[in-house]
Amino acid sequence: MDKNQACYLCKGCGLGEALDFDNLEEVLGESGISEVKTHDALCSPDGVALIQGDVDGGVNAMLIGACSSRVKSDEFNFGSQVIVERASLREQVLYCSEAEYEGEEEAGEDRQMLAADYLRMSAVKLAKSNVPVPFKLELEPETALLVVGGGVAGINAALAAAKAGVQVFLVEKEAELGGFLVKMAKLAPESPPYQELEDTGLEELVAQVEADDKIKVYTGTTVDKTEGAPGNFTIALSGGDTLRCGAIVQATGWLPYEAEKLAEELAYGSNPGIITNVDMEAKAKAGDLGGLNGVAFIQCAGSRDQNHLPYCSAVCCTVSLKQAMMVKEANPEAAVYVIYKDIRTPGQSEEVYREAQRKGVVFIRRDEDYPKISESGGKLAIETKDMTLNDTVEIDELDMVVLATGLKPNNPKVVDAPLVALGMDQEAAKKLAAESKAQCDSWSVLNLQYRQGPNLPTLKYAYPDSHFICFPYETRRTGIYAAGAVRRPMRVSQAVEDATGAALKAIQAAHAAAEGVAVHPRSGDMSFPEFAMQRCTQCKRCTEECPFGAINEDEKANPLPNPTRCRRCGVCMGACPERIISFKNYSVDMIGSMIKSIDVPEEDEEKPRVIVLTCENDALPAIDLAARKGHKWSPYVRFIPVRCLGSINLVWIADALSSGIDGVMLFGCRHGDDYQCHFIKGSELANVRMSKISETLDRLVLESDRVRVEEISFNEVDRIPEIISEFMETIEEVGPNPYKGF
């Protein structure tokens, strides 16, 4: 494409008074943009009309020097064929700098230099940008949805998608639909006034599925193989059928925690009267609750216990309340006890707790130690600590003791070992965790033919989840969504909501694949990584490090990218030592050239230069907000937005330091177990790579203090000036970069 470039500078919001625009025009001229127009308020209808007029006249690449790219995005949108590059003169120059800075020969010169550098960088970026051409699948994109698992979540996902007009394939391994719902007698109250146990409603759900001609059901079937990418998945079913679908919802439910493991603590298996809540549900389903005069429920049986499941399954309390109410309904005279650590009744289930109390269920709070269960005269007895009475109490004459066991992810290979990390030798625990994780990852429902393994990657406790608040149902395999108890323990009503959400996300993913745009979090991004394969050395870093498993490999270890699986984070670009991966509007060369375009003053001017490679997702908005809040920082700092810290190629650091920049900072999201990285592993990878930067620095004979990684989340706006000034002090201590002027 032939670029017809122009630049528009805004004088509004105080920019006109603060900056010397003649000088800026000169700078732009040196950077190759001769067509420069200024306006008093570029975002006003008049200003927008000025630009639109030029666009109509043939301008197709423009630099707008005004406010942050995060604001006024509608005003400055001139269609997908016009490249718009925004230099944030307002937030990153005017708001964050003082009108006069210490050591200036002329008042405002530092601020002016700051603005000039941003325009230089933007001009380079504009020159190196191309209009992205969306990726098109070779075959006609498919939008049908595959739902794996015919339980309450699967059925609801299928129904929701069918309602939206999408063809659905529903695969269930059992002979009939329903999943765990088949085994359930009743549901705990789900609707006001939360006093009556409710029917499961399974028959109606199944009838709806059967009546829907958009849903094709495969019972007694499993998935042998899943190949391809969003928009073009090919599924081989165990029955021999092959399906093509655009996206997948995995709703394969949960497994009950094995009560056999509680034989020692809670005497499970020693007496037929000691059963689990799952057994209890079966009894209730069979109408087998008559004749019970004394029943005790033991909560947290193997839950919130470092030797078993360290987490709370969030449903067992409500289940026990329900089952206690069932016992009371069968025999109102029965003595029913619930022995608990804490009653956890999320949502409106507190009302269920009250109702169980009204029905006369007695609640006894215990401590961390499990109650002792014994047998006397054909009946069971429990001895437990009563925290309220601060005494040991005894409950006898019990016909049944129900252990409220928790939920595990539906993966028979899940070993509980990774959950036992606490209190162990940390090295041993890490090793154990890695082994168990590998074992768990080797098993799969979908059997993905992905280079990174057949299963959905798991997070904590072997649940295949993403950030639980920000991105529910997102797995780390694009186009595959997890719904229901497969991603975390949840109740039926929550699973229904989950299923609907996941189905809608899956439909969106299939459509995005068809249109060649990214899904969450860079929704609508048309760029995708392109590989200059002739220079590839088959080092496998990209295929290994992609957080979303987007890149497969052939036998010779050549990367085989699947652009519809890609989230456009650029982690592969950061990983590639040969720098052969680039996007139409984001590349190693582009950022490198931007860094080199910064004007570095001579050493004797005592004006150091620091660049901050800034994550666009959290850190950049935080900087904008800090500036808008009136925080000021050093005018020697230049921010360069990056898609993710994971996309940072080490060559940029070398470029910066060898061109005389005194220091480099990386602002990104928190990583680790409670990560906030929008691309899950990007921030962590950056950290690992930076830990190896010392090699580069040694080669350049530079101090390692010159490079620093900082974790910034959006709510840490007030920390930004502090971090910057601290780093500036460090730079002052280590002194100027000896490469200045070379």
Partner 1 sequence: MATKAYDKSFREEVYQNVDSGEDVKLCMQCGVCGITCPLRGEMTHGPRQLWALIRAGKRDEVMNSPDIMLCTSCYSCKVRCPRGVKVIDVMHGLAHYALEQGIVPRKETAKFGKVFWNSIYKTGRVDETEVPMRYTMMAGPVHGIFAMLEMMDIGRALLSHKRMKFKLGPGLPPSKKIKGIRGLKKMLDKAAAMSPGKEG
Could you list the residues that contact partner 1 (CB under 8 A)?
335, 337, 343, 353-354, 357-358, 360, 362-365, 383, 386, 388-389, 391-396
Minimum CB separation of residue 337 from partner 1 in Å reads: 7
- Which of residues 81 and 388 has its CB atom nearest to partner 1 in the complex? 388
Other Cβ atoms within 10 Å of 587 Cβ, number: 22
Q: Cβ distance 279 to 289 under 8 Å?
A: no
Token pair belonging to 8: 């528009």
Minimum CB separation of residue 323 from partner 1 in Å reads: 18
Phi, psi of 225 (to 5 degrees): -155, 140
List Cα–Cα distances, 654 to 52, 468, 659, in angstroms: 40, 37, 8
Token pair belonging to 301: 């049986």
- Which of residues 296 and 483 has its CB atom nearest to partner 1 in the complex? 296
Minimum CB separation of residue 187 from partner 1 in Å reads: 23
| Nearest CA-CA partner of 613 in 683, 541, 714 | 683
Q: What is the CA radius of gyration of the chain?
A: 31
Minimum CB separation of residue 357 from partner 1 in Å reads: 5
Q: Cβ distance 716 to 676 under 8 Å?
A: no
CA angle, residues 481, 487, 490, in degrees to nearest 5? 125
Kindly give, in sequence order, each residue whose CB lies less than 8 Å from that of residue 421, ignoring residues fewer than 6 positions away: 429, 430, 432, 433
Minimum CB separation of residue 354 from partner 1 in Å reads: 7
Minimum CB separation of residue 648 from partner 1 in Å reads: 51
**Alpha carbons 604 and 736: distance in angstroms, whole number:** 9
- Which of residues 39 and 328 has its CB atom nearest to partner 1 in the complex? 328
- Which of residues 127 and 296 has its CB atom nearest to partner 1 in the complex? 296
Minimum CB separation of residue 407 from partner 1 in Å reads: 25
Q: Cβ distance 236 to 224 under 8 Å?
A: yes
- Which of residues 396 and 589 has its CB atom nearest to partner 1 in the complex? 396
Helix orientation angle between 720-734 and 619-628, rounded to the nearest 10 degrees:
100
- Which of residues 93 and 188 has its CB atom nearest to partner 1 in the complex? 188
Query: Does 132 sit behind a cis peptide bond, omega within 30 degrees of 0 on the bond before it?
Result: no
**Alpha carbons 159 and 175: distance in angstroms, whole number:** 19
- Which of residues 273 and 721 has its CB atom nearest to partner 1 in the complex? 273
Minimum CB separation of residue 356 from partner 1 in Å reads: 9
- Which of residues 176 and 396 has its CB atom nearest to partner 1 in the complex? 396
**Alpha carbons 567 and 581: distance in angstroms, whole number:** 15
Token pair belonging to 20: 């010397």
- Which of residues 353 and 450 has its CB atom nearest to partner 1 in the complex? 353
**Alpha carbons 596 and 392: distance in angstroms, whole number:** 74
- Which of residues 356 and 490 has its CB atom nearest to partner 1 in the complex? 356
Minimum CB separation of residue 371 from partner 1 in Å reads: 12
Minimum CB separation of residue 325 from partner 1 in Å reads: 13
List Cα–Cα distances, 457 to 198, 450, 574, 719, in angstroms: 36, 11, 21, 34
Q: Is residue 131 packed enough to be buried (19+ CB in 10 Å), middle (13-18) or exposed (0-12)?
A: middle
Minimum CB separation of residue 91 from partner 1 in Å reads: 47
Minimum CB separation of residue 97 from partner 1 in Å reads: 53
- Which of residues 362 and 734 has its CB atom nearest to partner 1 in the complex? 362
Q: Cβ distance 229 to 479 under 8 Å?
A: yes
- Which of residues 181 and 334 has its CB atom nearest to partner 1 in the complex? 334
Minimum CB separation of residue 381 from partner 1 in Å reads: 9
**Alpha carbons 157 and 251: distance in angstroms, whole number:** 8
Concatenated DSSP letters for 528-572?
Answer: --EE-GGG-----HHHHH-TT--EEE-TT--EEE-GGG-----HH
**Alpha carbons 466 and 519: distance in angstroms, whole number:** 14
Q: Cβ distance 626 to 720 under 8 Å?
A: yes
- Which of residues 362 and 700 has its CB atom nearest to partner 1 in the complex? 362
